[in-house]
């Protein structure tokens, strides 16, 4: 199936005078199901709508936005696969030099706060034309939210941008319902009952019935405690079974969030992945160096959605939700066969995963009727829930069939394996097969830290779970005659982490002979519990105070401790150990982390 039109000439070649919808994205146009723009645009096409894609338009002029003329039904606007601020800036707020979602890694092809900028430009050029915003940036910023880059509270992106409607979550069913109603001639301001959407009305016009009332924009700007209350309420209602309508006042207007749209059923999810994607970037980018983001996903398969792990620092729970939806085995095998037909396929399926690779079922039976537990309860942390049901049989069977396909040499799993879930499986068949067939020398896992207080703040299991997994991984690798390694993801400076905690983690790494090449500083992104902790200094579920590393100096020291073995970090490590009251770890003894520097040696002399 040809790419959707991205120029007026391509549109006219199809015999169109105008598109029904213009899908605007901050990413380059990649027609692959790992890109939200591709899914939404192909889905609209499947339902009979004429769709044009406006990728990375120049927001400083009008030309790109008038390229296709006025759409018959409206604009769909997204920043792309990432929040535009995360795409542009490091955790140190430094401008990134590369953008994997732009041709040739070129930065600067989308504006900061892309959804707001694009929508305001559309409003200026096409007043009265419906504008629907969605994707990750809109979804996570749907309420008044702390913005790390402004270091301030910003209003709902719906009100900030001036859009008519916001779709949150994955968005397929919301989008089709919105398109159907627009096509029927219904005014967009009457779309007040669609699940998985937010709209805004003047205070005097609010009539939707009972709702959870969040502290207002004005209140959360004034009070960090009120912000924490607001965050907790929003997270609590993010469940398609038990979630209720949520409102938040912004001056003379009220933001209304309807309950979440139920996750796609398995047939619906299969249908999304059966759409006729080109599975490549548009040919116009070839001369510019292509779009690098395709490299990781071109020969990878997504088999599930959602994550009941729900780490506090991760946005998945607030965007995709915690309920698991999995594609059928037949659907996954169909996609794999398509991969093998590509002239670029070399025999390797790089990943069969998703937000969490080894989730294919609900964590327990009761959540199907009651929804996932509220109150901050986790399925896996700090210890597994007694109701947890662990089953890898279906996933294992699917992987075995993928390995047996003609032209397939190896099938790897590179997206996150929840080791705490895997280690609870009494049947070690999947673990054995994972080690034997699906690890490319290194397996990435995410213990993140080692001290109970920090792991509790992260919503992660305690380190004993990781140690149990690690021991078995190496034992099974040895039995299989393979030399394989674990690559642990670690995070420094998360709320709750003191310098003493960072020292404890450094000692843990030394004891376990781990030398991480990369360490991630906690990045306060919109819509997460951890970001709420970072801003307020409160745990929103207990309202207890929590320590937050804030100074650049302390963050640098915590990060350096996790790579204490790097000579470049020596002075920072020494400073951190002294500040933590652990100067006993500076020296030449077996238990020491770092040798004295020249200044210390001179002082001793």
- For residues 429 and 603, the model is more confident at 429
pLDDT confidence band for 489 (50 / 70 / 90): very high
Tokens 């009539």 locate to 207
55-86 pLDDT tens trace:
999 999 999 999 999 999 999 999 999 999 99
The answer to whether 67 touches 60, Cβ cutoff 8 Å, is: no
**pLDDT of res. 597:** 79
Q: Higher confidence at residue 496 or residue 205?
A: 496
- Is a pLDDT exceeding 60 seen at residue 224? yes
What confidence tens digit (pLDDT) does each residue in 256-282 have? Answer: 999 999 999 999 999 999 999 999 999
Q: Does residue 435 fall inside a structural domain? A: no
Assign 600 a pLDDT band (cuts: 50, 70, 90): low
In a domain, 31, yes or no: yes
| Stated pTM of the model | 0.95
CA-based max dimension of the chain: 86
pLDDT at 416: 83
- Percentage, residues of the chain above pLDDT 70: 98
Q: Residue 257, SS3?
A: strand
Structural domain range at position 14: 8-198
Give strand ranges (E) for 251-400: 253-257, 280-281, 300-302, 304-305, 325-326, 348-349, 351-353
pLDDT averaged over every residue in the chain: 96
Q: Please state, in angstroms and rounded to a whole number, the distance separating the CA atoms of residues 12 and 159.
A: 35
Cis amide prior to 545 (ω within 30 degrees): no
Q: Give percent helix, percent strand, percent coil of the chain, each to the nearest 5.
A: 40, 15, 50
Q: Is 532 part of any domain?
A: no
Measured distance between the N- and C-terminal CA atoms of the chain, rounded to whole angstroms: 76
Which residues on adjacent β-strands are paired with residue 143? Answer: none
Order of strands, edge to edge, in the sheet holding 51-55? 51-55, 21-25, 74-78, 131-133, 165-167, 197-202, 253-257, 246-250, 212-214
| Separation of alpha carbons 312 and 241, rounded Å | 21
Q: Give Cα 365 distance to the centre of its chain.
A: 26
d(CA 242, CA 375): 13
Distance CA 506, CA 564 (A): 7
As beta bridge partners, residue 287 has none
Q: Give domain status of residue 18, yes or no.
A: yes
Q: Into how many domains does the chain fold? A: 1
Q: What is the dihedral of CA 31, 33, 35, 41, to 10 degrees?
A: 60
* Residue 315: predicted pLDDT: 94
CA distance 532 to 555: 18
C-alpha 323/C-alpha 306 separation (Å) is: 5
Closest CA to 248 of 191, 203, 315, 204: 203
User: What pLDDT does residue 205 have?
Assistant: 86
In what helix (H) or strand (E) does residue 487 lie, and over which residues does it extend?
A: strand 485-492
Output the pLDDT for position 156: 98
Average confidence (pLDDT) over 202-227: 93
Contact predicate 593/506, CB 8 Å = yes
Reading the block at residue 399, the tokens are 């992987």
State the alpha helices, DSSP H only, in 480-604.
Answer: 499-511, 529-536, 552-562, 570-579, 598-604
CA gap 572, 146 in Å, rounded? 30
The pLDDT score that the predictor gives to residue 519 is: 87
Per-residue burial over 280-307, b = 16 or more CB atoms within 10 Å of its CB, e = otherwise: bbbeebeeeebbbbbeebbbbbbbbbbb
Judge contact between 313 and 126, C-beta under 8 A. Answer: no
User: pLDDT tens across 518-535, in order?
Assistant: 889 999 999 999 999 999
Does residue 100 register a pLDDT over 90? yes
Whether 429 maps to a domain, the answer reads: no
Position 116 in a domain: yes
Q: Looking at residue 75, which CATH number applies to its domain?
A: 3.40.50.280
Asked if the structure places residue 43 within a domain, the reply is yes
Q: What is the mean pLDDT of residues 298-317?
A: 95
The answer as to whether 45 is a domain residue is yes
Quick check: helix, strand or coil at residue 435?
helix
| Cα–Cα distance measured from residue 459 to residue 410, given in angstroms and rounded to the nearest whole number | 34
Nearest alpha carbon to residue 493 among 502, 505, 481, 484: 502
Average pLDDT score over residue span 15-29: 98
Distance (Å, rounded) from C-alpha 78 to C-alpha 64? Answer: 16
Averaged pLDDT for residues 317-329: 95
């Amino acid at each position: 199936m040809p790419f959707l039109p991205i120029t007026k000439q391509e549109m006219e070649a199809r015999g169109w005078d105008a598109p029904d919808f213009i899908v605007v994205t901050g990413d380059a146009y990649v027609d692959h199901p790992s890109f939200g723009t591709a899914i939404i645009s192909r889905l609209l096409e499947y339902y009979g709508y004429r769709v044009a894609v406006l990728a990375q338009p120049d927001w400083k002029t009008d030309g790109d936005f008038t390229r296709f003329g006025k759409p018959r039904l409206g604009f769909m606007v997204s920043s792309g696969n990432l929040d535009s601020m995360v795409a542009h800036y490091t955790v140190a707020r430094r401008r990134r030099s590369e953008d994997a979602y732009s041709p040739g890694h070129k930065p600067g092809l989308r504006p900061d706060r892309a959804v707001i900028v694009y929508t305001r430009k559309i409003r200026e050029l096409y007043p009265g034309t419906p504008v629907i915003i969605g994707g990750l940036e809109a979804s996570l910023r749907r309420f008044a939210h702390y913005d790390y880059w402004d270091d301030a509270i910003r209003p709902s992106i719906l009100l900030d941008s001036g859009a008519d409607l916001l779709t949150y979550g994955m968005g397929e069913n919301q989008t089709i319902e919105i398109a159907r109603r627009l096509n029927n001639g219904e005014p967009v301001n009457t779309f007040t009952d669609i699940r998985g959407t937010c709209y805004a009305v003047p205070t005097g016009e609010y009539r939707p019935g009972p709702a959870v009332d969040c502290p207002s924009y004005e209140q959360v700007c004034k009070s960090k405690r009120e912000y924490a209350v607001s965050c907790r309420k929003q997270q609590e209602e993010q469940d398609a079974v038990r979630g209720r309508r949520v409102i938040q006042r912004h001056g003379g207007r009220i933001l209304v969030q309807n309950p979440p749209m139920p996750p796609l059923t398995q047939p619906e999810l299969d249908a999304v992945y059966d759409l006729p994607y080109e599975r490549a970037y548009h040919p116009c980018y070839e001369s510019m160096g292509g779009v690098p983001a395709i490299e990781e996903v071109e020969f990878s398969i997504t088999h599930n959605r959602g994550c009941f792990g729900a780490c506090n620092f991760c946005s998945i729970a607030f965007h995709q939700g915690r309920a698991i939806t999995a594609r059928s085995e037949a659907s996954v095998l169909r996609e794999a066969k398509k991969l093998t037909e590509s002239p670029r396929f070399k025999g390797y399926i790089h990943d069969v995963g998703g937000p969490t690779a080894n989730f294919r079922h609900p964590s327990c039976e009761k959540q199907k009727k009651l929804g996932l537990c509220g109150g901050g309860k986790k399925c896996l942390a700090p210890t597994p829930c007694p109701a947890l049901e662990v089953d890898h049989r279906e996933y294992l069977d699917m992987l075995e069939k993928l390995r047996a396909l003609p032209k397939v040499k190896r099938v790897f799993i590179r997206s996150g394996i929840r080791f705490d879930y895997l280690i609870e499986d009494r049947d070690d068949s999947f673990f054995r097969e994972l080690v034997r067939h699906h690890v490319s020398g290194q397996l990435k896992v995410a213990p993140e830290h080692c001290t109970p207080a920090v792991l509790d703040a992260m919503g992660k299991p305690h380190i004993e779970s990781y140690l149990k997994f690690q021991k078995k991984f190496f034992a099974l690798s040895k039995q299989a005659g393979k030399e394989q390694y674990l690559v642990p993801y670690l995070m420094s400076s998360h709320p709750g982490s003191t310098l003493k905690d960072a020292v404890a983690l450094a000692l843990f790494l030394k004891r376990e002979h781990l030398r991480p090449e990369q360490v991630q500083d906690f990045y306060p992104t919109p819509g997460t519990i951890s970001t709420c902790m970072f801003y307020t200094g409160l745990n929103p579920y207990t309202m207890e105070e929590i320590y937050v590393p804030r100074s650049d100096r302390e963050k640098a020291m915590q990060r350096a401790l996790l790579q204490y073995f790097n000579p470049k970090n020596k002075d920072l490590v020494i400073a951190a150990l002294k500040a933590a009251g652990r100067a006993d770890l500076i020296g030449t003894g077996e238990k020491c982390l770092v040798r004295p520097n020249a200044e210390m040696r001179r002082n001793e002399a």
